[in-house]
Structure 1
Amino acid sequence: MSESAVDGTAALSIVLFAGGFDRVHYALVMASAAAATNRKVTLFFTGRALRALVHEAEPGVLGWHDLDPADDGSTPVARDRYFATHGLATFEELLEACVALGVTVMACEMGLRALGLPPGVGLRADVPVATGGVVTFLNEAPKGGAMLFV
Structure 2
Amino acid sequence: MSKLPPLGILLISGGHERAHYALVLATGAAAVGREVVIFATNAGCRLFDAARPLESDPREKLLAERGVAGIATLLDAAQELGIGCIACEAGLRAEGMAPESLLPGVELAGVVTFLGAVGAGQIVTL
In structure 2, give the amino acid aligned to 1:123.
L
Q: What is the 5 A alignment of 1:67-86?
A: 77-86=57-66
Q: 1:33 matched to which residue of 2?
A: 28
Structure 2 residues not aligned, in runs of 5+? none
Residue identity opposite 1:141 in structure 2? V
Deviations 1:86-113 (A, max 9, x none): 0111111111111100000000000111
- Runs of at least 4 residues off by over 6 Å: none
**Alpha-carbon displacement from aligned partner over 1:41-96 (angstroms, at most 9, x marks no partner):** 0000011111111122xxxxx2324xxxxxxxxxx521011010101111111111
TM-score by length of structure 2 reads: 0.92
Q: 2:86–2:109: 8 Å Cα contact kept in structure 1? A: yes
Structure index of larger Rg: 1
In the TM superposition, residue 140 of structure 1 has moved relative to its aligned partner by 2.0
CA distance in 1, matches of 2:108, 2:26: 18
Determine the C-alpha separation between the residues in 1 that align with 2:42 and 2:18: 13
Distance of 2:100 and 2:95 partners within structure 1: 12
Percent identity of paired positions between Structure 1 and Structure 2: 37
Q: Name the one with the larger helix percent.
A: 2
The RMSD of aligned alpha carbons is 1.4
Superposed, which structure 2 residues align to 1:1-150 within 5 Å?
Answer: 2-5=1-4, 9=5, 11-56=6-51, 62-65=52-55, 77-118=57-98, 120-125=99-104, 128-143=105-120, 145-150=121-126
Matched AA of 1:149: T
The whole-number CA distance in structure 2 between the counterparts of 1:123 and 1:95 is 13
Q: Is contact 1:46-1:112 (8 Å) kept?
A: yes
Counterpart CA distance in 2 for 1:135 and 1:142 is 10
User: How many corresponding residue pairs?
Assistant: 126
The one-letter code sitting in structure 1 at the alignment partner of 2:79 is V
TM-score (norm 1): 0.78
The amino acid of 2:91's aligned partner reads G
Q: Structure 1: where are the runs of 5+ without partners?
A: 57-61, 66-75
Amino acid at match of 2:123: M
The answer on whether the counterparts of 1:53 and 1:64 sit within 8 Å (CA) in structure 2 is: no
